[in-house]
Structure formats: structure tokens, C-alpha cells
Amino acid sequence: MTRRKNPSKAISINDIARLSGASITTVSRVINNIPTVKEKSRVKILSIIKELKFRPSVFAQRLATGKNNVIALVIPQYEGVFYSFYALELIRGIGALCDALKLDLLLHITKRQASLNLTGIGGIIFADIIGNRQQLTDALERNVPCVVINNFVEDLDVSCIAIDNSGGAEMAVNYLISLGHKKIAHITGDLSTQAAALRFEGYKRALEKNNIPLEEKYIFKTDYSRGQARVSAESLFKMQDMPSAVFVASDAMALEAMGVAMELGKNIPVDLSIIGFDDNPSGLYGPVALSTLRQPLIKMAEESVRKINLLMDPKKNEKIEKIILPTELIIRESCKPFS
């Protein structure tokens, strides 16, 4: 016989317990997939839940399991964030694994000095720390589980997952040097960010190790925007003593530099070898496929979700970890041996 519920009254866990003849504790264990319930009782309770279209309270589930499944992804606001390959890859990787692990994801594009509302948040993934370090320290002081990605945080007791930016940059410049280039320029990213600063360090270290003098005139500082990359490339092509190669701190800026070269009637890589950093798929579809350093953004994103999921579980007693992921040199068509 089909049971009919009173439409004016919401079904509660007490109703499920009464109709199934089980205790409220047993029903709660079934709802939260705790494997200590006899199979016969589990089947009966699940049948009643399905028949009555019962939807358990998220807050009640959190109380039962002791775990809050809401994760905040905090991305510092910067120009072009919604068109950024980096940001979109992180959102894609984090969102997909949150869905698989049944975690709720809140996206927070934050101004650097703004305070965060931590109410109802089980954990926070910080997508880099760019002027918003106070947000991180506030969360840690309130014992909110945190993971920082794309930034190696040495001086705080927090888990972080970063890319080997300096090693990747050194690899890129060493590759250009192996092709015979000695006049190598660098179009930097925003040097207030750890990633850009480390890529600049890797560039300088490769020159030093190969006994190539550092030329300030070959360094073009930008804020990672394509606009400033364009200005830098225009300046580079106007130089009397033009470099034969350039290492660019992001693929988006490298593609902008290639566009400037085409507009000026230059040939890539005959007139200038270019190598970027990111492995943005857009680099494959230009007139010349872009050589680059592949950084494992999706892996970094997924590892951050796995880590925060463990840190949020009070039963796991998960430890703090600090991880650096390697980069990979991807050789395509935009570089050639110096002649």
C-alpha cells in the first residue's frame, strides 16, 4: 500500500524512523552511508526515503558526520581573470573533483584587502597569494583548513602546492642557449607575484651558469597583460642590438609578441625565437606553434581538492604538506638554432 504524506508537513528523519521501525541513529547512518547497518534494514530505510522523496538536511548531515563539505576557492582579482587560462584551468580541475567527491564549491573573486566571510565554510583553497595574505592568516587563526596553490608558503603552517617556476624558466632559457642563442630577452610577468619573480630568477640563473652577461636592456617588465606584452614586443623589435630569442613569462603574452612580429613583417622563428610558459592550447593554433613550458595546472588543482578534503575530515588527522610539481619542456616550431 502506498503511503501518502501530508503535503502541508515536511517529511523529517523522525518520520522515516517511525515508518521503518528503526532508530533515528540507524536512519542517520543510512543517510550518511556509514557501513554499520544491516543490509535488510538499509534496504527498507532507503525504500521509504525514495517513496516519500525525502531530502535530508545538509546541515543535519554535517552534524552527523562532523564534516562541513563546503569549500571556498579564493582567487585574487586581477585584470582579465575571467579570460585567464590559469584561472579557468584551476576552476575546471577543482570543480570536477569537487563534484566527484560530493563537495560544494563556492567561487570567491576577491579584492586584495577585502575580508572573507568564513561562515559556513569547511575549508579554503587559495589560488595564489597576491596581496591577500591577511585573508589566509585570518582563516588559519580561526582554524579553518586551508590549502594554497601556485605559491610556496614557507613561513606559515599551511599546506601548499606550487609549480617549479624557477626550474622551468631555467629549462626554457637553457634550451635557447643550447640552440646557440646568447642575446636572450625576457618579458616578465607581474613581479609582485611569486610565480613571475621565480621565473625571472630562473632566467637569470640560466644566463649566469652559462657565463652570459645579464643585459638590463633585454628585460621587459609587465603585469602579465597582453597590452603590456604588446608594448614590450614593439620595443624589442625597435632595438638596434635586437636579441635573437626571448623567453616570455606566459603563453598569452608570447602569442601577443608573435602577433606583433607578424604585423611588422617579421618571421618567427627566423628573426626571433620565442618560448612561453603555461602550455596554453591557443599556442597550437597560430601560424607558428609555440614552444613552451607545460605546468601541471589540472594536477595542482586536483591535488588541492584531495588535500583539503582530508584536512576537513576531523577523523583523518591529516598533516601539513608542502609540494612542488615539476614542469615539462614542450618543443614546437617557434624556436630555431641561431645562425
Other CB atoms within 10 A of residue 90 CB: 23
In a domain, 333, yes or no: no
**Same domain, residue pair 157 and 171:** no
pLDDT digits (tens, 9 = 90+) for 213-240: 999 999 999 999 999 999 999 999 999 9
pTM of the model: 0.79
CATH number of the domain that residue 33 is part of = 1.10.260.40
pLDDT bracket for residue 1 (50, 70, 90): very low
Using CB atoms within 10 A of its CB, is residue 211 exposed (0-12), middle (13-18) or buried (19+)?
A: exposed
Same domain, 175 and 278: yes
Inform me whether the pLDDT recorded for 57 exceeds 70: no
- Is the previous residue joined to 269 through a cis bond, with omega within 30 degrees of 0? yes
- Same domain? For 171 and 275 the reply is yes
Same domain, 129 and 197: no
Does 337 map to a domain? no
Range of the structural domain that residue 266 is part of: 165-295
Residues 112 and 155 in one domain: yes
Q: What is the CATH number of the domain that holds 242?
A: 3.40.50.2300
- Joined together, the cell numbers standing for residue 250 give 606566459
| 169 and 291, same domain (yes or no) | yes
| DSSP SS3 for 184 | strand
- Whether residue 198 is found in the same domain as residue 172: yes
Structural domain includes residue 242: yes
Number of domains in the chain: 3
C-alpha distances out from residue 310 to 53, 137, 298, Å: 31, 20, 19
pLDDT at position 67 is 60
Q: Residues 275, 181: one domain?
A: yes
Tens digit of pLDDT for each residue in 11-21? 788 888 888 88
